[in-house]
């Protein structure tokens, strides 16, 4: 069965510091991978997605993620954190075969950004 | 375009009562999904509609949960009778048809608290 592991339920960084949120997946077939973000009182918003094209994927708000098949990882990074990045982040996977989006989510990582 | 709308945003009921959650997807999105997040754990798939038909309901916890999508527009998720373990946030998402990594648009969620 597929699964997604997000290392660290809480991550705290200083404003301007590097943001690194870790995601590892298990999948029997090459997957599609996603990062979603949830700001307070809002829905899940897509940050970026990997669909077997370029392994380095750029998303919104300066975030990017790199698909590493050998490490079964899809870590999310941002060079310089902003206070507005404080939110909960979810990594998700769906098999590229299947025909529809039955997303499997990780448990989420709450990012805190302090001055 | 308008997003995915869910209501109520928060519902507090007692054990044994009934609650109905509603989701209005983006107009024209044939695919509608329900997910649930319990106690800060993973967001888990509940079921998937294509228009008015249930495509996959493998994630529904038990027969106390009933989902409908009459006419292929909005959907309701009824919990009857509610139990303590049903507390959590229920997310609805919609997307266009077809295979591949179609992006899902999520609502803000309906938080259910069962006392």
- Per-residue pLDDT of A17-26, as tens digits, reads 999 999 999 8
The nearest CA of chain B is from the CA of A52 a distance in Å of 10
**Which of helix, strand or coil describes residue A85?**
helix
Is the predicted pLDDT of residue A65 greater than 90, yes or no?
Answer: yes
Confidence of residue B70 (pLDDT cuts 50, 70, 90): confident
Is the predicted pLDDT of residue A103 greater than 60, yes or no?
Answer: yes
- Cβ of B42 within 8 Å of Cβ of A108? The answer is yes
Task: Tell me if the bond preceding B90 is cis, omega within 30° of 0.
Answer: no
Confidence of residue A43 (pLDDT cuts 50, 70, 90): confident
The nearest CA of chain B is from the CA of A16 a distance in Å of 28
Q: Chain B contact for A51, CB < 8 A?
A: yes
Cβ contacts from A onto B, under 8 A: 69
- Cβ of A41 within 8 Å of Cβ of B108? The answer is yes
* Per-residue pLDDT, B102: 66
Cβ-contact A9, A22 below 8 angstroms: no
Confidence of residue B41 (pLDDT cuts 50, 70, 90): confident
* Per-residue pLDDT, A32: 87
The better pLDDT of the pair A47, B102 is held by A47
Nearest-angstrom CA–CA distance, B27 and A113: 36
- Cβ of B101 within 8 Å of Cβ of A51? The answer is yes
A102 contacts in chain B (CB < 8 Å): 33, 45, 48, 56
Highest mean pLDDT range out of A99-103, B19-23, B71-75? B19-23
A9 contacts in chain B (CB < 8 Å): 40
- Among A39-53, B3-17, B97-111, the minimum mean pLDDT is found in B97-111
Nearest to A103 among B45, B55, B56 (CB): B45
User: Which tokens is B16 given?
Assistant: 């044994």
Nearest to B108 among A43, A46, A100 (CB): A43
Burial class (CB in 10 A: 0-12, 13-18, 19+), A77: middle
Is the predicted pLDDT of residue A98 greater than 90, yes or no?
Answer: no
Nearest to A90 among B43, B99, B109 (CB): B43
Task: Tell me if the bond preceding B81 is cis, omega within 30° of 0.
Answer: yes
Interface with A, mutate which of B43, B51, B94 (most A CBs under 10 A): B43
User: Which tokens is B50 given?
Assistant: 């294509």
Beta bridge partners of B7: B22
């Amino acid at each position: 069965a597929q699964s997604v592991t997000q290392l660290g339920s809480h991550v705290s960084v200083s404003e301007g510091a590097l943001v690194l949120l870790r995601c590892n997946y298990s999948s029997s077939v090459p997957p599609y991978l996603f990062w979603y973000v949830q700001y307070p009182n809002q829905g899940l918003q897509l940050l970026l997605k990997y669909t077997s094209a370029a392994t380095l994927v750029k998303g919104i708000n300066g975030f990017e993620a790199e698909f590493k098949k050998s490490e079964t990882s899809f870590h999310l990074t941002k060079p310089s954190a902003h206070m507005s990045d404080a939110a909960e982040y979810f990594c998700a996977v769906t098999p590229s075969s299947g025909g529809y989006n039955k997303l499997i989510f990780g448990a989420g990582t709450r990012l805190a950004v302090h001055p | 375009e308008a997003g995915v709308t869910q209501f109520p945003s928060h519902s507090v009921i007692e054990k044994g009562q009934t609650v109905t959650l509603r989701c209005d997807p983006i107009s024209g999105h044939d695919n509608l999904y329900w997910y649930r997040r319990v106690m800060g754990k993973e967001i888990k798939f509940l079921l998937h509609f294509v228009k008015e038909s249930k495509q996959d309901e493998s994630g529904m916890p038990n027969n106390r949960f009933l989902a409908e999508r009459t006419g292929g527009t909005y959907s309701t998720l009824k919990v009857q009778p509610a139990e303590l373990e049903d507390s959590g946030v229920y997310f609805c998402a919609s997307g266009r048809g077809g295979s591949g990594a179609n992006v899902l648009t999520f609502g803000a969620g309906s938080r259910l608290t069962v006392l």
